[in-house]
A = this chain, B = another copy of it.
C-alpha cells in the first residue's frame, strides 16, 4: 500500500496526474490507498475515488507550511508546484520565494521527519535549466546555464534534490520536462504558448497566429507522455540512478513547420490553413534562446518513453481533450 502527496495538485499536470491515479491506482508496484492533494488554492477533490483523498491549501513558501503533511510520512511525494517562467522573471522575489525557498522547505520538512523516513520525491524540473548556445542535441552531460530566473531556480532545486538524496534524507528523481504540447485550455501569454496554440485553436475551429518562422525547432511531450514520466519516475529503482538524480526526459524534436504538417496529416488541409503568419520579434528572440533537441539516452535506457511522433501528439490531444473529434 502506498500513500501519495502531490504538491502543486491544482495545476494542469497535477490534475492530470490525479485523474491518472483514479483510473489506475498503482505506483511502483504498490496499490495507492491515500492521496493528499496540496496547492496554494485547495485542489478539487474527486467525487469518487478508489483511495482516501484529502485536500489542503498551503503556501509552499510559508515556513512550516508542509510540515504537517510531510510528517504523516507519505511514501511518494510529487513536487510539481512552481511560479512559472514569465512570472518568475517579472517578480524576482516571488519566484525565488516559491521556487527556491519553497522547494528547500519541502526538502527540509522531509529531512526533519527522521526515523529512517526516506520517501521517493519526484521533482518536475525543466529544459529551462539550459541556455543557448547549444550543441545540435543536448546530451546527458551538458552543463546548466539557465537564462531565466525560473531556470536558475529549477537548476538549484535539482542540486538540492541530488544532495538531499546523496545524504540519505530522501530518494529523489528530478525530471526535466520538455515543453508540454498540446497544452489544453485557453491561450495564455507565455512566450511558448503558440507551440500549443497553432494545434489547439485550429482543431477548435479558430485561427491561430504564428509569431515565429516555420524553421523554429523545439522539444515537445504530450500531457499524456508527461504523466507517464511522473508515474515511471515514482516507481524507478533509485539505485539505477546513482548520484545523478536529474534526467532529461525524452521528447519529440519538431519544427513549427513539422507541427503544422502533422496537424494537416491528422486533421486535414482546412484545419492546417487556420494557422496564419503573425510575426512577433519579441517572441522570436525569446524562443531563439531555448533548447531545440536532445539526446535523452539515459532516460530512454531507464525506461522513460516519449510520444512516437508529433502526429501522435496531435492525436493524443484529440483523444484526451476533444473526445476524439474536432472542428473540420
Contacts and interface: CB of A to CB of B under 8 A. Distances in A.
Interface stretch (A57-65, A116-124, A139-147, A178-186): A139-147
A92 interface: yes
A243 interface: yes
A149 interface: yes
Contact of A147 (B143, B155, B166): B166
B144 A152 contact: no
Contact of A146 (B92, B140, B149, B163): B163
A244 B149 CA distance: 14
A160 B167 contact: no
Contacts of A135: 141
Contacts of A149: 163, 167
Contacts of A144: 143-144, 159
Contacts of A244: 131, 145
A156 interface: yes
A313 interface: no
A162 interface: yes
Interface string A158-191: 0110110011000000000000000000000000
A155 B163 CA distance: 11
Contacts of A160: 152, 156
B145 A152 contact: no
Given A142-B141, A144-B144, A243-B147, A159 B167 contact: no
A155 B145 contact: no
Given A145-B244, A156-B159, 8 more contacts: A131-B243, A131-B244, A135-B141, A145-B162, A146-B163, A147-B243, A156-B156, A156-B160
